[in-house]
Amino acid sequence: MQTKTNNSNSPARVSIQGFEGSFHQVAARQYFGKDVEVIPCASFREVVKIAANKKESDAGVMAIENSIAGSILPNYNLLQKSNLRITGEVYLQIKQNLLVNPGVKLEDIREVHSHHMALQQCLGYLDQHHWRLVETEDTALSAKHVHQKKSKHIAAIASKLAAELFDLEIIAPNIHTMKNNYTRFLILHREGEVAESADANKASVNFNTDHSRGSLAKVLSRIANGGINLSKLQSFPIPGSDFKYSFHADMEFESRNQFQRVITQIGPLTENLKVYGVYKNGMDKK
């Protein structure tokens, strides 16, 4: 696993979406180590912009899909337009916790603040109480505000890391309703700056097909016949085209030669075939 792209002994500087204590930072720590320096960004577009600038960062971490909410489609477009390559991935189980200032009890709470998605994920627990639910822009920012206000009547829903960073207590752990909730994060480096992993067994590619009969089926048949598992196939209409589609495919393979043979075979059947990255399957580390 590549932890930094510079020649110094300093920790990697990585752009993330959200604030310190967010699940993006948890994912960054899981991949790069606890010493990673995160650069909080307000948007995914900013994550990609900073990750692409060697003067500002060494890499980027960007969520791409969730096992419940599905794909984050705009992020595929950001990836396609960037000079970044996928060098790894992290599958992170999303564990939501109720955080309070030290000494606060459940009966003291009147409001719970968090991102609307986090609130939705925890309604099974929250419906047991009569708290006012306040939507905010970020889970970790909610935790920071609870810490700053020192109120005993406000709680936040956020990560365990947020509790540690902002000196909050976890008064109720794992309050999310769906326990099997994972988010997949991509590790992004600038093209040509990081060597491909020797134990790589997954790749992400993008290609176009026309709308002739069976065009996509021919591509998929070559992939299947090559013994490659297609773990994801996401389609996108190409703006301004006559019903042409772009496809993002995640392929799992046993050897690099196997993958290269399939890429060679599907090349004549596709247009604008592009490999976004060849990397180690994050499911192996989940």
The dihedral built from the CA positions of residue 267, 273, 279 and 281, taken in this order, carries a sign that is: negative
Which residues on neighbouring strands pair with residue 177, listed in sequence order?
A: none
pLDDT digits (tens, 9 = 90+) for 245-258: 899 999 999 999 99
| Cβ-contact 60, 16 below 8 angstroms | yes
pLDDT digits (tens, 9 = 90+) for 57-87: 999 999 999 998 899 999 999 999 999 999 9
Question: What domains can be seen in the chain, in order of their start residue?
Answer: 13-94+181-190 (3.40.190.10), 97-172 (3.40.190.10), 202-278 (3.30.70.260)
Main-chain dihedrals φ then ψ at residue 235, nearest 5 degrees? -105, 150
| Cβ-contact 126, 112 below 8 angstroms | yes
Q: What SS3 state is found at 51?
A: helix
Measuring CA to CA, how many Å separate 10 from each of 58, 197, 246?
11, 21, 39
End-to-end, the C-alpha distance of the chain in Å comes to 15
Residue 144 clears pLDDT 50, i.e. is over it:
yes
Predicted pLDDT of residue 5 = 46
Query: Closest Cα partner for 235 from 258, 260, 209, 269?
Result: 209
Query: Closest Cα partner for 212 from 273, 275, 271?
Result: 271
Mean pLDDT of the 93-100 span = 97
Which residues on neighbouring strands pair with residue 63, listed in sequence order?
A: 185
Q: What SS3 state is found at 2?
A: coil
Query: Closest Cα partner for 112 from 91, 79, 149, 142?
Result: 142
Give the β-pairing of 13-17 and 59-66.
parallel
| Cβ-contact 143, 137 below 8 angstroms | no
pLDDT digits (tens, 9 = 90+) for 184-234: 999 999 998 877 788 999 999 999 987 778 889 999 999 999 999 999 999
pTM of the model: 0.91
